[in-house]
A and B are shown apart, each in its own frame.
Chain A
């Protein structure tokens, strides 16, 4: 696992947006257009480099982690600057690299120079997006728990400003709530992390934060159970898992659509990513101990989110609750401990990132046409004046309810399959959640897009070129991966198998038909 590259790919990848962020900040205030163009160029550069990294990533390699970098950082506390990505990290970095340029283009005209309603400058918004991208790459690439934590917490600051300075009417409250919730989780994780450092010192003689060294530790189960809680609490707030979700609807509805996409599409994935990367391998015994409880929370989340979404009259809040329901599925897939379940969760994360982007951006475009109102009751019959917009809205809705042929279906199907393998009845209950999803998603489509055109909507313009150019790549990727998920599965599966072997879990043998008791996960 100490395959050291000559070229620090990941560091460079993370530094580009950071440098870009400073460049954008230093641009003169009078040139907001230039700031946007520079930001877009930088984010495209990051995307290009990510593609290069993805192509160089060896999916068939024996080494689960590649592009490894390792330097001492704070030796006094056994802290290293060490980076490396496995298939899961790669997929999530790619997701971030794709979504950032899209949100930049989508938010091109969202921010205006400070006026009576907004307090932040144009260049500031785009600089914050780029700074956030650096930290998103860092969080997925870190292989040192301390480094991960630093990125995990530092990420809050740009988002805090993005919501608080550029959001809607409720922005100050929402930003503060988001920050306090996240800090609460983060501080408990800090205590746990220090505990882990101390425990590692007791076991090996030298305390460490390096993931590779922590994974092999044989921590006694009682300690594991305590330390696990700190980490899990932080991730459950971030994800957000029921009942730690209440910050999300406020944050999502106060934020700009672009901010909401990055917040729910990428940032919240850090929670579920953290469960796979940190909770499971470092605390296997505790993960097994708490699994029934967590599965229960995930199930409640699936239904609670879906039912509350059913009753929402505010589009942004509706999609926030729907995300919460989806996160229930993702967490469920992780804690059933089957290869197919965890792989499915990772695919679901990608799918959810894409469908969140599609739905929030389309809804954002729509709301812009009606001075930002997000009430469903304000919209009716949009498909007549703006058929293209309505079409994309339908597509996003279908992607959200996991229509076969779209990537979200692959993720949801794999998660349910993995769940059935382990707990038949849990899988059965979770499947019911899909039905409610269909109900609220189609309800919002039907109410807002079909029927008679409501007052003031008759003259709205259909999507412009810029807006279409944002939605087409998302749609194309959703369909492509839905029909051909191999590029994602090929890199994710080996990583998941590594996780499974670290936590010492094997897939249950198939219950029907086959006589083979092979422990290999079924490959879709």
Chain B
């Protein structure tokens, strides 16, 4: 809307027309977020949880139905601020499904004897008498659902933003609730709060980068709209330092969100400190949303500059894959290991971005979908593996888990094999599609780097399998808690998608190819 104001400065004010039907998915989720806040304000504590949960799931399912009903629509909406197009809808659809699974995990109360994964009162000082009282009285926070809905709303806007300001607003709407939620873990609260603060400070930095870059791009092109920027770049092919700096700043803001090296330092701390269901949701959904935004920015607005950004991204992708994989080797905490794994995986997805072709776009989207289901499944299992102090995230406590709980360990092994890219899992088809796009685009050497990084990554993924299956259980070995139906559904969905996409990927590939490219 601000875009409109800026662009139509001189003309008389006209009421902007809003395409409610085309914007329905975003509006439903954000509307539900507002209602959720009102519920917190006006309803008694005892009824909040069931009502909030009903609201969340109804809103998400309604949004999903709205997205599906839009499958044939291609339009630029909201006065040019947003678009409805195939890749955008697929990413929105995946985000909503992942959000449903994430909500199922966040709603789980059967694992921790004292409640769910979130602190009873975030305001109570860690370790204080207040906190003990709140826990003893069985308090829960239901505000998390309002935060959650706003975060999902932001994620839905992020990959379909068609101008810089909308993208920035989406980035903030997505991130701010996540900063808060990251600090609300029930166990190890200091770690959680530290994580939240780090996430917030570094996130604010990156937002500032993005905003600065946006201002420079506006200065160059006189517009914040992606298609107009693309036009101006095409009309002025001479590279100006202004554009290059602007591009670097904007990209840095987005690369921070996807956790690419060298903007990755926040990832391990935040993944480790945040409540596990939230980590799972964030690892999966933020990655999709941020990659969606990155792809749109690079393909639509900066497509003409690809010979300038490809070499830089080439280096970033190679670094991301290698650094992520190598540092993951040394981790002894499973959540930190998966954090570095998510960095390495981001590097692989960047191969699709760098291909700068429809195949690259399709490959990146497929990879994102397969990665997100596998990742949320893996975090669901981390929620289940517990000892007296809560989740047993230290790797040594996973030794011999295959003996104690063969079924759960097998599913976790499946997720690890998929992340390692072993055939017959979705991860393999994902790697295959981005590698194919990269070789088609002539990036053979980058694929060789990716191959070496895959091997290093395979080593640490399989190390967990070795630990679970090839070693004896010890006294230290954690036990697997019996999950309620919420977690079971999420886990089953993750495992099913991981196997199905590995064996019959064609329907999804067809859907992605059919969806076509970004609307300009």
Contact between chains at A179 and B451 (CB < 8 Å): no
Q: Which residues of the other chain, A, contact B505 by a CB distance below 8 angstroms?
A: 74, 76
Give the contacting residue for B466; candidates A114, A175, A183; CB below 8 A. Answer: A175
Q: How many chain A residues have a CB neighbour from B under 8 Å?
A: 37
Contacts of A56-82 to chain B: CB distance below 8 A: 72-77
Contact between chains at B436 and A197 (CB < 8 Å): yes
Contact between chains at A172 and B458 (CB < 8 Å): no
Interface string of B435-460 (1 = CB under 8 A from A): 11001100010011001101100110
Q: Is A119 an interface residue (CB 8 A)?
A: yes
Contact between chains at B402 and A198 (CB < 8 Å): no
Contact between chains at B469 and A161 (CB < 8 Å): yes
Cα–Cα, bound, A116→B463 (Å): 21
Q: Which residues of the other chain, B, contact A191 by a CB distance below 8 angstroms?
A: 435, 439, 444, 447-448, 451
Contact between chains at A77 and B439 (CB < 8 Å): no
Q: Which residues of the other chain, A, contact B139 by a CB distance below 8 angstroms?
A: none
Give the contacting residue for B403; candidates A119, A187, A190; CB below 8 A. Answer: A119
Contact between chains at B471 and A119 (CB < 8 Å): yes
- Given A154-B424, A164-B466, A165-B469, is A75 in contact with B448 using a C-beta cutoff of 8 Å? no
Contact between chains at B455 and A165 (CB < 8 Å): no
Give the contacting residue for A74; candidates B402, B452, B454, B506; CB below 8 A. Answer: B506
Q: Which residues of the other chain, B, contact A77 by a CB distance below 8 angstroms?
A: 432-433, 436, 509
Q: Is A486 an interface residue (CB 8 A)?
A: no
Cα–Cα, bound, A160→B452 (Å): 20
Chain A: CB-nearest residue to B448: A191
Q: Is A293 an interface residue (CB 8 A)?
A: no
Cα–Cα, bound, A171→B462 (Å): 14
Contact between chains at B458 and A76 (CB < 8 Å): no
Q: Which residues of the other chain, B, contact A149 by a CB distance below 8 angstroms?
A: 423
Contact between chains at A153 and B436 (CB < 8 Å): no
Q: Is A150 an interface residue (CB 8 A)?
A: yes
Q: Is A51 an interface residue (CB 8 A)?
A: no
Contact between chains at B451 and A195 (CB < 8 Å): no
Cα–Cα, bound, A187→B463 (Å): 18
Interface string of A91-114 (1 = CB under 8 A from B): 000000000000000000000001
Q: How many chain B residues have a CB neighbour from A under 8 Å?
A: 37
Smallest Cβ distance from B194 to chain A, in angstroms?
Answer: 35
Give the contacting residue for B423; candidates A120, A150, A179, A188; CB below 8 A. Answer: A150
Q: Is B470 an interface residue (CB 8 A)?
A: yes
Q: Which residues of the other chain, A, contact B506 by a CB distance below 8 angstroms?
A: 72-76
Q: Which residues of the other chain, A, contact B448 by a CB distance below 8 angstroms?
A: 191
Q: Is B417 an interface residue (CB 8 A)?
A: yes
- Given A119-B402, A183-B458, is A190 in contact with B470 using a C-beta cutoff of 8 Å? no
Contact between chains at A172 and B454 (CB < 8 Å): no
Q: Which residues of the other chain, B, contact A165 by a CB distance below 8 angstroms?
A: 469-470
Q: Which residues of the other chain, B, contact A114 by a CB distance below 8 angstroms?
A: 403
Q: Is B513 an interface residue (CB 8 A)?
A: yes
Contact between chains at B423 and A184 (CB < 8 Å): no
Smallest Cβ distance from B1 to chain A, in angstroms?
Answer: 39
Give the contacting residue for B455; candidates A156, A175, A187, A197; CB below 8 A. Answer: A187
Cα–Cα, bound, A438→B428 (Å): 46
- Given A187-B455, A190-B435, is A119 in contact with B510 using a C-beta cutoff of 8 Å? no
Contact between chains at B440 and A198 (CB < 8 Å): yes
Q: Is A54 an interface residue (CB 8 A)?
A: no
Q: Is A194 an interface residue (CB 8 A)?
A: yes
Q: Which residues of the other chain, A, contact B455 by a CB distance below 8 angstroms?
A: 180, 183-184, 187
Contact between chains at B423 and A153 (CB < 8 Å): yes
Contacts of A115-166 to chain B: CB distance below 8 A: 116, 119-120, 149-150, 153-154, 156-157, 160-161, 164-165
Contact between chains at A198 and B469 (CB < 8 Å): no
Cα–Cα, bound, A350→B435 (Å): 37
Cα–Cα, bound, A184→B455 (Å): 6
Cα–Cα, bound, A184→B453 (Å): 10
Q: Is B400 an interface residue (CB 8 A)?
A: yes
Contact between chains at B470 and A119 (CB < 8 Å): yes
Cα–Cα, bound, A198→B433 (Å): 12
Cα–Cα, bound, A469→B287 (Å): 59
Q: Is B19 an interface residue (CB 8 A)?
A: no
Q: Is B422 an interface residue (CB 8 A)?
A: yes
Q: Is B472 an interface residue (CB 8 A)?
A: yes
Q: Is A176 an interface residue (CB 8 A)?
A: yes
Interface string of A178-212 (1 = CB under 8 A from B): 01100110011011001101100100000000000
Smallest Cβ distance from A377 to chain B, in angstroms?
Answer: 29
Cα–Cα, bound, A150→B400 (Å): 29
Cα–Cα, bound, A329→B433 (Å): 38
Chain B: CB-nearest residue to A149: B423
Contact between chains at A172 and B471 (CB < 8 Å): yes
Q: Which residues of the other chain, B, contact A154 by a CB distance below 8 angstroms?
A: 422-424
Contact between chains at B451 and A188 (CB < 8 Å): yes
Contact between chains at B470 and A76 (CB < 8 Å): no
Smallest Cβ distance from A251 to chain B, in angstroms?
Answer: 14
Contact between chains at A195 and B462 (CB < 8 Å): no
Contact between chains at B472 and A198 (CB < 8 Å): no
Contact between chains at A119 and B451 (CB < 8 Å): no
Contact between chains at B422 and A153 (CB < 8 Å): yes
Give the contacting residue for B509; candidates A76, A150, A157; CB below 8 A. Answer: A76
Give the contacting residue for B510; candidates A76, A187, A195; CB below 8 A. Answer: A76
Contact between chains at B469 and A164 (CB < 8 Å): yes
Chain B: CB-nearest residue to A75: B506
- Given A157-B417, A179-B462, is A187 in contact with B451 using a C-beta cutoff of 8 Å? yes
Query: Which of B469, B470, B506 counts the most A-chain CB atoms under 10 A from its CB?
Result: B470
Cα–Cα, bound, A72→B451 (Å): 28
Chain A: CB-nearest residue to B459: A180
Q: Which residues of the other chain, A, contact B423 by a CB distance below 8 angstroms?
A: 149-150, 153-154
Query: Which of B432, B440, B444, B506 counts the most A-chain CB atoms under 10 A from its CB?
Result: B432
Contact between chains at A172 and B513 (CB < 8 Å): no
Smallest Cβ distance from B198 to chain A, in angstroms?
Answer: 34
Chain B: CB-nearest residue to A114: B403
Chain B: CB-nearest residue to A171: B470
Q: Which residues of the other chain, B, contact A153 by a CB distance below 8 angstroms?
A: 422-423, 428
Contact between chains at B513 and A76 (CB < 8 Å): yes
Cα–Cα, bound, A157→B472 (Å): 20
Cα–Cα, bound, A307→B452 (Å): 33
Contact between chains at A164 and B439 (CB < 8 Å): no
Query: Which of B400, B440, B463 counts the most A-chain CB atoms under 10 A from its CB?
Result: B440
Q: Which residues of the other chain, A, contact B422 by a CB distance below 8 angstroms?
A: 153-154, 156-157
A–B Cβ pairs within 8 angstroms, 21 of them: A74-B429, A74-B505, A74-B506, A77-B432, A77-B509, A119-B402, A119-B469, A119-B470, A150-B423, A150-B424, A172-B470, A172-B471, A183-B454, A183-B455, A187-B452, A190-B451, A194-B435, A194-B447, A198-B436, A198-B439, A201-B440
List the interface of chain A (C-beta within 8 A of B).
Answer: 72-77, 114, 116, 119-120, 149-150, 153-154, 156-157, 160-161, 164-165, 171-172, 175-176, 179-180, 183-184, 187-188, 190-191, 194-195, 197-198, 201
3 nearest A-B pairs in the assembled complex, by CB-CB distance: A76-B509, A150-B423, A164-B470
Taking A154-B423, A180-B455, A191-B447 as given, write out 9 further A-B residue pairs in contact, using a Cβ cutoff of 8 Å, ordered by the A residue number: A74-B509, A77-B432, A114-B403, A119-B469, A120-B469, A156-B422, A164-B466, A164-B469, A172-B471
